[in-house]
Amino acid sequence: MSDDLDGVRGLVADRIATIHDHPSPGIVFRDITPVLADPVTLAGAVDGLTAMTRDLGVQRVIAAEARGFLLGPAIARELDAGFILARKPGRLPRRTVAVDYALEYGQDRLEAHADLLDPGTRVLVHDDLLATGGTAGALCALVEALGGVVVGCSFLVELDGLGGRERLAGHDVRTLLRYADG
């Protein structure tokens, strides 16, 4: 499986576009939209993320809008798990549980329906990209507030040096691709 995963990593890495100085000078932006646009690469990304997390015994996958929704449901489907939407305040119609979290310039909040996790449900936190870990940390806190157990965190891309992995200390973090230049 390691060779297969290396092949998937190469396939996905070849499709990720690197944009310098976007959205501001000095930033290196990793654009995953070419991965999503190519059916072979998209399938490879889902297969790779699924292969990396299959051993976790996942019962639900949770992801935050909007980018976490891109691959999260497909991963859940492949893991024979359910998918939970974590959304901005006021967008879910039933009773919710919420967590507030810090952003670089302010606060934000994520909510999920309160009735979608039984105590002890094994949950995979997923997002497209791990940078500072703020959103993923909030998702972990939300799962725990709902009574679930975070069994791992998966990401298509990780930007090293921005503190995300450290912020998720104590959680099993798995990424398909890592970039050292943050």
Q: Which of 30, 60, 65, 67 is an active site residue?
A: 67
* CA gap 154, 97 in Å, rounded: 22
Locate tokens 């995953």: which residue? 32
Nearest residue to 139 via CA among 94, 170, 98 = 98
Question: Is 91 designated active site?
Answer: no
* CA gap 87, 32 in Å, rounded: 21
Question: Is 104 designated active site?
Answer: yes
What dihedral do alpha carbons 19, 13, 172, 181 form, nearest 10°?
-40
Nearest residue to 70 via CA among 5, 157, 160, 162 = 157
Q: Which of 30, 65, 104, 178 is an active site residue?
A: 104
Catalytic residue list? 67, 104
